[in-house]
Structure 1
Amino acid sequence: VIRWRRSRQMNERVLAEDALKQIHKSEMRGQVATLDSVAGALQISRDHTAELLVRAEENGLVSNEAGVLHLTPEGRNAALHIIRAHRLWERYLADQTGFGEAQWHGQAEILEHSLPPEEVDALAAKLGYPTHDPHGDPIPDASGQYVAHGGQPLTAIALDQPAQIVHIEDEPETIYAQLVALGLYPGMTVRLVEASSKRVRFWANGDEHVLAPILATNISVVPLPETATVVVESDSETLADLKLGERGKVSAISPRCRGAERRRFMDLGILPGTVISAEMVSAGGDPTAYRIREALIALRSEQASMIQITRRLEPAA
């Protein structure tokens, strides 16, 4: 019975915190937060939502003006604490673990409720006080201050205007998964070539992408000057382009390489300036064995494609 009560109390606390977070999201988007909108976001009944909101109002966290919900200063601070914990967890999962992009949000949704402020501060310090999560959302500091990404929807920029992705919305998860599958990420340079009510067409990393407008609006960008040098990842060769006996010098590791994979590359000595040669290929054609700092290391083609190189013309020794 005691365990059941503790579990129920925990669930109610999580729902109450999620309600504050949802109201904050609505305020930041210029939308009206109501009992129905919060109930829909939390996927619980109107009666249950009403109970949560009454308690939040009694605790001085929420005000209700003719059915429109607003956070009080205390409620906003509580919401920002949860948002900060969530985005720091996502940053941690992206940079320090092997979790895939599609798993970051769900994991952070669970973990965000388990950290008191002092542990959130410790996590921020461990990560070097990052300002944005891996999706491009700003991370509030301990005082609740943050710098917005300043982006606009991809569909809003002028045609042929070079732009940089600064944010990819991670909700709903089904849409985010589709954008991740295209290899899109914050920091990528794009160029919009068509935007209509039926489709949005743009170039990114040398590939043409066509999206439904509802998907494209989840990508935020900032325009780049027309005179800016557009750095396109596919313009440079990668380790996967080397034929047997050829050599290349590492110029960069793709931003697509994160967390445990990136640390493994560093542990293997795959750093800018390292010279690598292709030595042998498995019978099935993948993986390929590369000589890296006097050791033979097998890498799959998808791994090798994340290591950008400049080709060395002299043959391997």
Structure 2
Amino acid sequence: METYSPLWSLIIFFIVVALLLALFRPSKGWYWIIRKAFKSNEKVITEDILKQLYHFEQSDNKVDMKTLVQLLDFSNHSIVEAVKKMTINDLIYSESDVLKLTEAGRDYALRIVRVHRLWERYLADKTGIHKTEWHDRAESMEHRLSHDDAEQLSARLGHPKFDPHGDPIPTKTGKMAPVQGVELPLLPVGSVGKITHIEDEPEVIYKQILAENIHMGSVLKVIENNATRIVFRSEGEEFKLAPIVAANLTVALIEKEVVVEDNIARLSSLKADETAKIIGISRESRGESRRRLLDLGFVKGSDVSIDLLNPLGDPNAFLIKGTSIALRKDQASKILIKKD
């Protein structure tokens, strides 16, 4: 019969202890890490379901289990199990196969929406991150920040009422400011209004709006409105959108007489033989980007002209206050001018 020396027994003992520590060490052991990851994933699924149900509720649409499974990027089994637990925990309920939020579920959903929109506002105002990245980054952070963290972030931002797309940010008690305006296709020809909201979902339509360089806060005039296209003029440019795309723009009608002047345009449209005066910077430019443009001299009343055209198209150099400043087209499009 084979026997082990005391030394081997000691070695085996320490190996076993080391394995047990690796597995069950408080908070850092593999068991706890795996359990935490599982719990975290369960939390993400729960919160994504709540948020989806909230958005469907706000748009007066109904959602059943089949639709929910198609929308979320999780396994069918995970979603079904999460829905079962959420029903037991009184977050959601089913009515004729339609999933609905309870009051507790709606409150929870609003906390998630609050974090998401606050984080988008933070990215817009405090960083140079491009707006195409705001949504995805906020999607990640909405599962990480606590209720207290969200309140601190809100205070740091000055308790904003709207995110950079114009969506209302819920207060800590769940109240929201109303969005002013109607969908662009509902405005008759000749109407003048201001863009107050740009819907960022579905993503494919939002990307079309970004590609058109349409800005929040811009004043527009409807030129044509029919079943095939919506045409409007804004900041010296003409835009043509399919009605399904235009419906993602909310516009507040300006009741009093407003003249949309033809010689008011974006700096990006300035020609080599033209001069202009700066009349302002679009609301689309925020935070560090806005401060940088102001520091460079792009302030109201300043004269500006083309100093050097890039043969490749971008960037171009503009002469402002005796200094040549290079700007990309995207940057120049956010500076409003009045041509001489």
The alignment's C-alpha RMSD in Å is: 2.9
Distance 2:222 2:97 in 1: 41
- In the other structure, the counterpart of 2:199 is 169
Are 2:326 and 1:299 aligned? yes
Are 2:159 and 1:132 aligned? no
Larger CA deviation: 10-19 vs 276-285: 276-285
Structure 1 residues without counterparts, runs of 5 or longer: 313-317
- In the other structure, the counterpart of 1:146 is 176
Distance 1:210 1:304 in 2: 21
Larger CA deviation: 297-306 vs 77-86: 297-306
Please identify the structure whose Cα radius of gyration is greater.
Answer: 2
Distance 2:260 2:118 in 1: 28
- 3-state secondary structure, aligned to 1:265: helix
- In the other structure, the counterpart of 2:37 is 7
- In the other structure, the counterpart of 1:235 is 264
- 3-state secondary structure, aligned to 2:109: helix
Alpha carbons 2:266, 2:332 under 8 Å: kept:
no
1:238 deviates by 3.9
Distance 2:165 2:173 in 1: 22
**Equivalent runs, 1:92-103 vs 2, <5 Å:** 92-103=122-133
Alpha carbons 1:35, 1:46 under 8 Å: kept:
no
Distance 2:268 2:303 in 1: 8
**Equivalent runs, 1:37-186 vs 2, <5 Å:** 37-186=67-216
Alpha carbons 1:61, 1:71 under 8 Å: kept:
yes
Task: From the superposition, tell whether residues 310 and 230 of structure 1 become closer, same or farther in structure 2 (CA, over 3 Å).
Answer: closer
Distance 2:197 2:304 in 1: 36
Give CA-to-partner distance per residue, 1:260-298, whole Å, 9 cap, x none: 32121234354335x456695378585426454x7x452
- In the other structure, the counterpart of 2:61 is 31
- 3-state secondary structure, aligned to 1:163: strand
Give the partner amino acid of 1:209. Answer: F
Give CA-to-partner distance per residue, 1:193-245, whole Å, 9 cap, x none: 333333222222232222222212212222221x332456961574974869x
- In the other structure, the counterpart of 1:288 is 317
1:40 deviates by 2.0
Give the partner amino acid of 2:325. Answer: A
Structure 2 residues without counterparts, runs of 5 or longer: 1-29
Larger CA deviation: 39-48 vs 81-90: 39-48
TM-score when normalising by structure 2: 0.79
1:154 deviates by 1.2
The number of residues matched between the two structures is: 307
Task: From the superposition, tell whether residues 107 and 140 of structure 1 become closer, same or farther in structure 2 (CA, over 3 Å).
Answer: same
Task: From the superposition, tell whether residues 6 and 238 of structure 1 become closer, same or farther in structure 2 (CA, over 3 Å).
Answer: same
Task: From the superposition, tell whether residues 207 and 110 of structure 1 become closer, same or farther in structure 2 (CA, over 3 Å).
Answer: same
